[in-house]
Amino acid sequence: MKKRALYKSILRELKQSKARFFSILGIILLGVSFYAGIKATGPNMLKTAENYYVEQQLMDQRIMSPLGLTKDDLAEVKGLEAVDQVEAVYSKDISLADVNRVIRFMSYDKKDRLNRPVVNEGRLPQSKNEIVLDQLAKDLEDYQIGDKVDIPSEDGEGLSEMSFEVVGFVNSPMFIEKMGRGTSAVGKGSVDYFALIGKECFTEDIYSDIYLTYKNTKDLKAYSDDYKEAQEKSEKQLKAVLANREDRRLAEVRSQLEKGQTELAPSKQQIELAEIQIQQAKNQLEQLKQVPGLDSTTAEKEFLDSESTFNKQKADLEQAEKSLIDQEKGLAKLADSDVYYYLTRDDSPGYTEYQENAKRLSSIATVFPVFFFLIAALVCLTTMTRMVDEKRGEIGTLKALGYSNFDISLKYIIYAILASLIGSGLGLLIGYHVFPKIIIDAYGNLYNTPSAEVSYYWSYTLQSVIVALLCTVLSALVVLRYDLFSSPATLMRPKAPKAGKRIWLERLPFIWKGLNFNQKVTARNLFRYKQRMFMTVFGIAGCMALMITGFGIKDSISDVVDLQFNKIWHYQGVVAFDSEADQSADEDYQAALDKLPKASKTLSVAQSNFDVSVKGKAPQAVTLNTPEQLEGLSDFILFNDRQSGKKYQLTDDGAVINEKLAKLFDLKVGDDLPLKDNNGVIKTAKIAAVVENYAMHFAYVTPTYYEEVFGEKPTPNSQLLLLKDKPSEEEEERISEELMATDKVINVTFLSETSRAMDDTISSLNVVVWVLIISAALLAFIVLYNLTNINISERIRELSTIKVLGFYNREVTMYVYRENNILTVLGIIVGCFIGKFLHGFVLATAEVDMLMFSPTIHGVSYVYAAILTVFFSLVVMFFMHRKLKKVDMIEALKSNE
């Protein structure tokens, strides 16, 4: 009977206090959905990528060599017990002038099992003259299906076909990052995108790479510690096997060089003999021309044909001789370094950075929900306190009737549990299904990964439910503790009002006397109910801080493009040169440059691409710039300290590097910077200064210091263009066409293209920011509604009294809202300081490796957050005004005795 009465009492309480119940449920729902959703996003990202790698059979190890790889190398690797699958591939980097891109042509065979491409459109190649391109080629609008990819004859060495038809666009698990495709020794020094052609299109016997997977990594998750340990263990065995072959491989190449030199000797003799024959033919032709009436046209044509053939043979010979000399130099360098280089998944563009981004999201998930749950706990404590205070008489009556403390508390525990469990259940559904999908799909602008997979995690589910129950049930038990140990007689009497006392403003008569009645009442109520004041200020400050953090991150992200492309870089374009261009090509280029109406200044630069990697950290691609002249460098690039504004100059003491690179590898002035080229050779440069930079990683050195580090003089391979006025897209295309028409130029890139690409990257991060802002705004609304509702419920007798005394409805509402307005303003002020601190922490956590965000929050962001808070306060005021108009004054003023 008692139990039935209690259950009826619980149902009655739910019906009578729906607003209170749903406010607790709502704040738990928000906290749980935000925590579980954001917390699950990181693991979901990794799980999505791991399944993708397994399905597409991403390699575990990549072997390459500056000498190339042979069938004997392949046989050695296949013979290793630890190896599961092995495949050898060909590749060739070619700069195509018609699209102004460097493309890596890679061999494809339908029998291959590793690094399988994912077809986005069209199909894979089925004949020798067909090609599939990286999806990036279509995104950049370079090619469509059916277009022709034509290779210049001078770049077609080693290929049997010079023209291919585009039959499809694909993604590769080797390149999950959308933009990065690695470095190259061709053109501007970096690959724009890859292409796949039939393996039979490559005519050489030397492989470019060997890909393999290991048996002990087969069932291990890609980013796990177990996978890394297993991979490193197998790699040691592989190195031990190939170490025995290094001397043999060097001997093979040296033997080929000697053979080539032997074959070259007869060719030289043939050329010398041909030179004598050509000279004799020329003399005979001159004699024929001097004989009157004799037609020498046929003889002259034969002579010109012979001379043309001779010149071509001579050029081929000179090129072969130059190639042999270069190979000899390379072989001499290799004698003191490694013949084989071993690359892992970590060296693939975007692989490690993807994991780092997933970790960052998990870190954010650890910080933000703490604020959500703290505010939720605060509001729940206040709500349950009010609920118990309202039911003091009922608790006293039940105690007098013989109900145990447990039976009495059961009503409040069940009430709290119901709000927590329903709120948690709905929050988990929303969190697991909505947040990861929104955020991971937003990261789709950065990575070529499949759509997010929905996964449920028991750990996050239990953590969310336990924290939610603690917020409500623990709050209820804490509040009940005092009343359950009080006597029924005490509980059935009204709670004694708090003793009035003078507030500190009353001790300042010059202020107090100037206040009117309403202002004095407001001041007294604020300082009389300190707990409520603290709860309201803290609740509003927490929500305000979350919104400021969201808007601040949006500012920091959006500022990157403007700071990088206006403050740091002053030039508008980069021209890449052909290293083999002759003097006449130089003159043609200079003539084309002089004709450009917008050309202002130029700076020749030697650009080269390197990787900086330290064990345990993601490798970073770095562009090393060596200006030909230091004078006027400041017109093109700003070197300064971001915090102090101090400006730097390039000196022969070391390299100038960007701030984010220094931060990622814990580098400072005086430290060594390891630079690894595309052959795996590492050179070390001393750091002379760390400067402001926001996009990508750069290092700058003087020609003298470059020679000191690399042992050779830098050769300018590009030129920075500083134009008088910012060109339009049409003008950029025209300038690019005119410069590309010269033989010296192989590539023209305008910074506006990079700027637009960065805007796309930034837009993906903005989605995460808006999720945060909207969640914080909803939380602010619930907090304001709940606290205001409690405030009015606590003071219903007081408000009824002033209504009886003749106050109008609007005056009654303002009687309460004067206090709310003051507390809202205080909460906004406190929230600004908390938001600034939280913004700095999240910024350091959420940055991607290739970007550094601006730490500045715009003043307007504080205004937006404050306006949202005030707006929600006004909305709550509107609902509360309607509630106050319906107050039953007689019922509220009835005696409790």
Q: What is the Cα–Cα distance from 131 to 117, expressed in whole angstroms? A: 13
User: Tokens 């005021």 identify what position?
Assistant: 877
Q: What share of the chain is helix, strand, coil (3-state, %, to 5)?
A: 60, 15, 25
Instruction: Identify the pLDDT of residue 353.
Output: 76
What residues does 620 pair with on adjacent strands?
Answer: 612
Instruction: Identify the pLDDT of residue 732.
Output: 76
* DSSP letters for 223-248: TSHHHHHHHHHHHHHHHHHHHTTHHH
Q: What are phi and psi of 342, to 5 degrees?
A: -115, 110
Provide the b/e sequence for 169-204 (b: ≥16 CB within 10 Å). Answer: bbbbbbbbbbbbbbbbebbbbbbbbbbbbbbebbee
pLDDT in tens, 737-755: 777 778 787 777 787 766 7
Low-confidence stretches of the chain (pLDDT < 50) are: 897
Q: What are phi and psi of 369, to 5 degrees?
A: -60, -25
Question: 3-state class of 370 per DSSP?
Answer: helix
Exposure on the CB side of residue 881, measured as CA atoms within 13 A:
13
Q: What is the Cα–Cα distance from 217 to 225, expressed in whole angstroms? A: 11
Instruction: Identify the pLDDT of residue 821.
Output: 81
Its sign, for the CA torsion 479, 484, 486, 489, is: positive
Instruction: Identify the pLDDT of residue 897.
Output: 47
User: Tokens 């306060």 identify what position?
Assistant: 873
Q: Tell me the three-class secondary structure of 132-187, residue by residue.
A: EEEHHHHHCCCCCCCCEEECCHHHCCCECCCEEEEEEEEECCCCCECCCCCECCCC
Q: What is the Cα–Cα distance from 876 to 849, expressed in whole angstroms? A: 43
User: Tokens 């400067």 identify what position?
Assistant: 691
CB atoms within 10 A of CB 686: 16
Q: What is the Cα–Cα distance from 827 to 532, expressed in whole angstroms? A: 13
CB atoms within 10 A of CB 677: 17
pLDDT in tens, 227-239: 989 998 999 999 8
User: Tokens 């803290």 identify what position?
Assistant: 538
Which parts of 753-843 are beta strand (E)?
none
Pairing verdict, β 573-577 and 718-723: antiparallel
